[in-house]
């Protein structure tokens, strides 16, 4: 059987059957491609960790297709969570709340909470609905590598480890979901993502930073993550100064257009659209890591709105900042 199939209804039903029987299916969401398993089959979930090379202490996000599924996952749902579900689901918002005992510990890395979201993508919703089971699904890539925004990138990363890859085209948002935890009436940000903090704060007030914990409370929060296979550095100075340096073997990533047309400069959005920057970020970094470059330098964006999620991914992917001194790069 071909492992990459177009996301027709017939093939989505094949995927649903695979999930029911304990297999792994990669599928598109509005954020990135996910690698899914039946959340209530620990052996299937264990395969996710094996295929990705993911450490067991890193919890997974569970995806649902309808509000009724949350009662199978959350022990209790406070009014604040109900309101956020109503406002932002389906969409790139993940909620972390106390879990029911039926949710296997392998899904939550032994935590007493579980992370849940409802993706805003027709293929994902059909797949989960027809499987009739919540689906544990991290990004469909090797652990620590760039998240995939296209089906071909899933195949390149995970090879024969996936039973079926549903090709729904390029994902729209391009960065993972925003993750928040609700505890004792307070809302804590665990990971910025495709839904801006500013938009959530319109409904819940000030979002707080969670108290420090020795455990990983959320996916995607390890210090080194989302990284290309060649070194990535960040640059905050004047682009004119950077372009005066010897950039042999170095690719430059610019979020927005700059007045230079050399081939090693990749612009993420010619229109200056921050949403397009996010959508193209991982795919452009993947393209550059396969090219003739020894390193990548990325310019930064302002940390507000979707820019906060973009900078979170760049900082975790990078090996630090570079500066320019006397027309030389200083790491």
Q: How confident is the model at residue 1 (pLDDT cuts 50, 70, 90)?
A: very low
Share of the chain above pLDDT 70, in %: 99
Express each pLDDT in 150-193 by its tens digit: 999 999 999 899 999 999 999 999 999 999 999 999 999 999 99
Confidence of residue 317 (pLDDT cuts 50, 70, 90): very high
Percent of the chain past pLDDT 90, that is, above it, reads 91
Provide the mean pLDDT of the chain.
95
pLDDT of residue 17: 98
The reply to whether 232-330 shares the fold of 4-204 is no
Query: What pLDDT sits at residue 157?
Result: 95
pLDDT level of residue 259 (50, 70, 90 thresholds): confident
Sign of the dihedral through C-alpha 35, 40, 42, 43: negative
Predicted local distance difference test score (pLDDT) of residue 2: 66
Measured CA to CA, the distance from residue 321 to residue 38 in angstroms comes to 41
| 11-60 confidence digits (pLDDT tens) | 999 999 999 999 999 999 999 999 999 999 999 999 999 999 999 999 99
| Confidence (pLDDT) at 5 | 97
pTM for the whole structure? 0.95
Per-residue pLDDT of 120-149, as tens digits, reads 999 999 999 999 999 999 999 999 999 999
Kindly list the domain boundaries of the chain, sorted by start residue.
4-204, 232-330
The pLDDT, as a whole number, for residue 146 is 96
Looking at residue 224, what is its pLDDT? Answer: 81
CATH architecture, domain defined by 4-204: Alpha-Beta Complex (3.90)
Q: What is the pLDDT of residues 207-221, one digit of tens each?
A: 999 988 777 778 877
User: Architecture of 232-330 per CATH?
Assistant: 3-Layer(aba) Sandwich (3.40)
Q: Residue 331: what pLDDT?
A: 85
pLDDT for residue 80: 96
Report the pLDDT value the prediction gives residue 223, as an integer from 0 to 100.
78
Average confidence (pLDDT) over 95-102 = 97
């Amino acid at each position: 059987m071909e492992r990459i199939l177009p996301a027709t209804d017939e093939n989505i039903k094949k995927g649903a059957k695979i999930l029911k029987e304990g297999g792994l299916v990669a599928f598109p969401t509005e954020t990135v491609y996910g690698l899914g398993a039946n959340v209530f089959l620990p052996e299937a979930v264990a395969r996710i960790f094996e295929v990705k090379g993911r450490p067991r202490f890193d919890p997974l996000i569970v995806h649902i297709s309808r509000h009724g599924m949350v009662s199978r996952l959350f022990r209790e749902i406070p009014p604040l969570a109900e309101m956020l579900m109503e406002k932002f689901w389906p969409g790139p918002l993940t909620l972390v709340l106390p879990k029911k005992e039926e949710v296997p510990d392998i899904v939550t890395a032994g935590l007493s909470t579980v992370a849940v979201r409802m993706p805003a993508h027709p293929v994902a919703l059909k797949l989960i609905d027809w499987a009739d089971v919540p689906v544990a699904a991290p990004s469909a890539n090797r652990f620590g590598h760039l998240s995939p925004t296209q089906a071909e990138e899933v195949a390149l990363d995970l090879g024969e480890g996936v039973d079926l890859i549903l090709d729904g085209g390029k994902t729209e948002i391009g960065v993972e979901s925003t993750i928040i935890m609700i505890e004792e009436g307070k809302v804590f940000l665990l990971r910025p993502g495709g839904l801006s903090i500013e938009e959530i704060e319109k409904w819940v007030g000030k979002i707080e930073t969670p108290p420090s914990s020795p455990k990983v409370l959320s996916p995607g929060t390890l210090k080194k993550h989302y990284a290309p296979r060649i070194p990535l550095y960040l640059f905050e100075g004047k682009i004119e100064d950077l372009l005066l340096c010897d950039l042999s073997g170095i690719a430059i990533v610019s979020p927005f257009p700059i007045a230079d047309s050399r081939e090693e400069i990749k612009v993420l959005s010619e229109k200056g659209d921050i949403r397009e920057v996010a959508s193209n970020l991982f795919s452009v970094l993947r393209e550059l890591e396969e090219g003739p470059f020894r390193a990548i330098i990325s310019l930064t964006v302002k940390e507000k709105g979707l820019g906060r999620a973009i900078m979170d991914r760049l900082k975790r992917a990078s090996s630090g900042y570079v500066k320019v001194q006397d027309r030389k790069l200083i790491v």
